[in-house]
């Protein structure tokens, strides 16, 4: 399931962890491990990211 509610905008909680917009599960940035929520202990798949010219984090996650 994608983490974003609006395509391309993955929420964070207090800029400390990634938050799933669908289930409010919380994931650590450093290793993608779920630390709270319905998937506790599970892990996200890693994707390459980079900063664009405006310092936004950009990721290509497949698809069209």
Identify the domain containing residue 30 by its residue range: 12-59
The 10s digit of each residue's pLDDT in 1-33 is 788 888 878 888 888 999 999 899 999 989 999
Residue 1 lies in a domain: no
> How many domains does the structure of the chain reveal?
1
Report pLDDT for 64.
46
Residue 3 lies in a domain: no
- Tokens, residue 59: 């990721």
Residue 4 lies in a domain: no
Residue 23 lies in a domain: yes
Whole-model pTM: value is 0.72
The 10s digit of each residue's pLDDT in 41-57 is 999 988 888 899 998 87
Nearest alpha-carbon partner for 33 in 47, 45, 15, 16: 45
Nearest alpha-carbon partner for 24 in 13, 16, 32, 14: 13
The 10s digit of each residue's pLDDT in 55-64 is 887 876 665 4
């Amino acid at each position: 399931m994608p983490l974003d509610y609006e395509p391309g905008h993955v929420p964070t909680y207090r800029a400390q962890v990634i938050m799933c917009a669908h289930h409010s599960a919380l994931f650590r940035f450093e290793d993608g491990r779920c630390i709270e929520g319905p998937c506790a202990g599970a892990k996200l798949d890693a994707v390459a990211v980079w900063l664009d010219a405006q310092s936004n984090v950009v990721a290509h996650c497949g698809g069209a």
